[in-house]
Amino acid sequence: MTVATLTAGEVDVSTGLTAAQVSRRVVDGQTNDVPGRASRSVKEIVRANVFTRINAILGVLLIIVLATGSVIDGMFGLLIIANSAIGIIQEVRAKQTLDKLAIVSQAKPQVRRDGVAVSVAPNEVVLDEIIELGAGDQIVVDGAVVEGEVLEVDESLLTGEADPVHKRPGEQVLSGSFVVSGSGAYQATKVGKDAYAAKLAAEASKFTLVHSELRSGVDRILKFITYLMIPAGLLIIYNQLFVSEQDLSAALNGMVAALVPMVPEGLVLMTSLAFAVGVVRLGRRQCLVQELPAIEGLARVDVVCADKTGTLTENGMRLSELRSLDGNEASARDALAAMAGSDPRPNASMLAIAESCDGDPGWTSTATAPFTSAKKWSGISYGDNGNWVLGAPDVLLDPETETAREAEELGSKGLRVLMLGSSDMSVDDSAAPGRVTPAALVVLEQRVRPDARETLEYFADQHVAVKVISGDNAVSVGAVADSLGLPGGDRPIDARELPKDREALADTLDTATTFGRVRPDQKREMVGALQSRGHTVAMTGDGVNDVLALKDADIGVSMGSGSPATRAVAQIVLLDNKFATLPYVVGEGRRVIGNIERVSNLFLTKTVYSVLLALLVGLSGCSPSSSTSSRCRTRSCRGTSRSQPGSRSASRRSSCRWRPTTSGRAADSSRG
């Protein structure tokens, strides 16, 4: 095998940076030290739960009561703590779970320093670093390949394209991608905030609170009540000071006593508790809710935009069919089993073959030619058992043959087709496999999640439209969607042909359901186009390429195996990576909505009664107390005492005067 190399300027590729060079770059700030965003910050969580309208109203009233020195009458302030604590505790727990996931999934690259390969944390990588790559390694910064031995990179998290990309020396690799096969090294050219993945994460890092119709409705009620509280409070305090002749402390307490019942704090507390209970119930199904109102939001969604890979399909493929071309299927299976067992770094196709053809025939290989996306075939020589090649039919066959046409027809249905054949010469790493005699067509298909069809049927029954949006080939995406019974799956659209105009794009989205070759920026545009038509949109995804669309969607849903940036911006994280969990979230959200709507009338009736009573008391000139008759009696008693000085009524003046408290009780006060 040959190893291609590329010089890297002043850096010796074989030895990497020296300690002095690393130190100089650290001093200059040329490191990969970018603030990680595995989840929302504690500051954001506290801000969202503390600075609410209900807390502001109760907080002002509490300050007034405490200013009078009546601490016991300020017990209603505990509602501020309760309302805030419920949301903060649940959301901080979600944050801790995501932070643990980020630590577990954090990649530690191997870099060359002073001629030695050492493992470092991602934030310790510096500019111009030589970073080694092997199968399964994550690329942590942007760079240029300087060494490559059949190096293939999976960029699906960035582009949505599932097929690996062959990387040669001099070509660029982006942070967030993975090495599928081969080995090599690359030099860091962009680190920190300049790296591709960091830029996407930064663009989506602005905090926004998920919209909740329930909380918005309560907030509108509170806003209206606030407008009523101002004149009601002024009337009551005027009555206390100038009609009842109370001192300022008692007048303020009386005003608060009348205003607190106007606030539907019970409804707000019950809403928070209902959301919290729903979050706990969903947690038992491995569904992590980062913001409490998200379960309500998903229940109101009418369009779900789902990625194909990881949502409708599982990672990997399966052998759908083995079509013998020479009548000797047993020999073909032995050859496939031998090739699968001889591959030290099997790709998705070879793993599927190994799973179906697991009987090792005991053949010994004498020469190998690994698969690359450039030559599109692999081969192994087994001495007396022959030379075997496996690869793309259009490369190994004459396109005019019947077998080539048969393979093309299968490929048009979204299937992956490989041809197994025997060669008349020993294989090597050259571009020519020799003369190949077809032995079998190996038909592979993506693994469809067993619960995907049931999930799609559920959304259809609930009148929720599902749009499959993927970076994969449109035909492949359509084949999967059609096999699951998604309406319009047999008519996939290549996103490269989508209109630029938002209105025209929205028209297309209204009629079509399946889209392939979708770029990350197009996903965002598609979400915006749907929202412009009044749709409530949920977006599911797991890659960095989904971050911006998840951020703009009304509800973002990430898979637990997704990138840290994706999990951070999503309101809901499916820890078990099961798309089928979403119906349970919808059901739980609708249960919460139903419970809150059923009891809201009770709280709102109490609020309306309190508002009318407060206004009546203020306008009538009575003092607020436990009963209207008691307040009105105060005026008559006071009038009697003035008309007959020194009479028995005058001696009872103080007993006829009521001092209100925030608990609604009246207390006698005596002047001695």
Q: Are 186 and 143 in contact (CB under 8 A)?
A: yes
Packing angle, helices 452-461 and 582-620, rounded to 10? 40
- Name which of 157, 153, 112 is nearest 136 in CA terms: 153
The set of long-range contacts for 573-578, using a CB threshold of 8 Å and a minimum separation of 24, is 573/94, 573/98, 573/287, 573/288, 573/290, 574/286, 574/287, 574/288, 575/97, 575/286, 575/287, 575/288, 576/285, 576/286, 577/310, 577/542, 578/286, 578/449, 578/451
- Name which of 389, 315, 323, 377 is nearest 351 in CA terms: 315
Query: What per-residue string of b and e applies to 643-653 under the rule 16 or more CB within 10 Å gives b?
Result: eeeeeebbeeb
- Alpha-carbon distance of 635 to 657, in angstroms, equals 8
Beta pairing, strands 416-423 & 387-391: antiparallel
Q: Are 196 and 543 in contact (CB under 8 A)?
A: no
Residue 572, sorted as left (phi over 0), alpha (psi -120 to 50) or beta, turns out to be beta
- Alpha-carbon distance of 407 to 471, in angstroms, equals 23
- Name which of 77, 58, 82, 83 is nearest 259 in CA terms: 58
- Name which of 256, 258, 243, 261 is nearest 68 in CA terms: 256
Say what the alpha-carbon torsion angle 295, 297, 301, 304 is, to the nearest 10 degrees: -70
Find the length of the chain: 672
- Alpha-carbon distance of 354 to 346, in angstroms, equals 9
3-state secondary structure of 538: strand
Question: Which member of 137, 142, 154, 307 is catalytic?
Answer: 307
Residue 538, sorted as left (phi over 0), alpha (psi -120 to 50) or beta, turns out to be beta
3-state secondary structure of 342: helix
- Name which of 228, 210, 394 is nearest 297 in CA terms: 210
Maximum pairwise Cα distance, the chain: 131
Cα–Cα distances (Å) from 561 to 142, 208, 314, 414, 574, in that order, read: 22, 23, 12, 26, 9
Q: Is 307 a catalytic residue?
A: yes
Cβ-based neighbours of 527, under 8 Å, separated by 6 or more: 305, 537, 539, 549, 552, 553
Cβ-based neighbours of 24, under 8 Å, separated by 6 or more: none
- Active centre residues (catalytic): 307
